Structure 1
Amino acid sequence: MENEFRAVADCASLEEVRAHIDRLDRQIVALLAERGGYVKQAARFKKSTDDVKAPARVEQVIAKVTGLAQELGADAVVVEKVYRAMIAGFIEAELREHAGLASGASKA
């Protein structure tokens, strides 16, 4: 699935365009759910909130996905904005998970 890209269908109507977008939205949300599961697991391996925030790792991911965008013909600006927003949301979720793990460890 690495670097998989399906050619965009030539649609004959707005309804057909929307049907393709709806199909893609379902796949994107499923992938976000999967990614979120891994983010939740990552919290177990991080010692501090600074490890969760990991700004150097964020920039590494951004560089990787903007490179992929260029390779796959996507708008790199859009990809970067989407990823920055997504990563910010996942960092918030991971911080909550990390705090929960830390409070559970302190009770044990």
Structure 2
Amino acid sequence: MKKEKCESLEQARAYIDELDQALIEIIATRQFYIDQAVRFKRTAEDVQSPERVQQVIHKVREKAKVLHTDPDLVEKIYREMIQHFIQRELKEIRP
């Protein structure tokens, strides 16, 4: 993603607003694919998959480091998002 130096607070806020829109769209797309994945899961253990959670956390922490952003923040955001999606998936597989 291209980064540009801002000439004003208003310009910085406009870029932030654009990024917020993009982030929400990306989260919605991620949710779409999680909803697809749940069709292939049969049990609560399949949904919760601690090994997969750790893989994802490790991967995003490493990407955060490469991009010089706080890996602790990225991990916190991902853990919250993953927990939300796990709860959503559990509702789908449980009668």
Could you tell me which residue of structure 1 aligns to residue 16 of structure 2? 21
Q: Which runs of 5+ in 2 are unaligned?
A: none
Alpha-carbon distance between aligned partners in 1 of 2:58 and 2:40, rounded to the nearest angstrom: 24
Could you tell me which residue of structure 1 aligns to residue 26 of structure 2? 31
Equivalences for 1:1-108 in 2 at 5 Å? 5-6=1-2, 8-99=3-94, 103=95
Alpha-carbon distance between aligned partners in 1 of 2:13 and 2:87, rounded to the nearest angstrom: 31
Alpha-carbon distance between aligned partners in 2 of 1:97 and 1:27, rounded to the nearest angstrom: 27
TM-score by length of 1: 0.81
Instruction: Report the alpha carbon displacement of residue 83 of structure 1 after superposing the two structures with TM.
Output: 0.6
* Identity between Structure 1 and Structure 2 (%): 45
RMSD of aligned residue pairs (Cα, Å): 1.2
TM-score by length of 2: 0.91
Runs ≥4 residues deviating over 4 A: none
Alpha-carbon distance between aligned partners in 2 of 1:95 and 1:85, rounded to the nearest angstrom: 16
Q: Which runs of 5+ in 1 are unaligned?
A: 104-108
Letter in 1 for 2:85: F
**Deviation digits for residues 78-104 of structure 1, max 9, x if unmatched?**
1111111111111111112222xxx4x
Alpha-carbon distance between aligned partners in 1 of 2:86 and 2:19, rounded to the nearest angstrom: 24
The structure with the larger Rg is 1
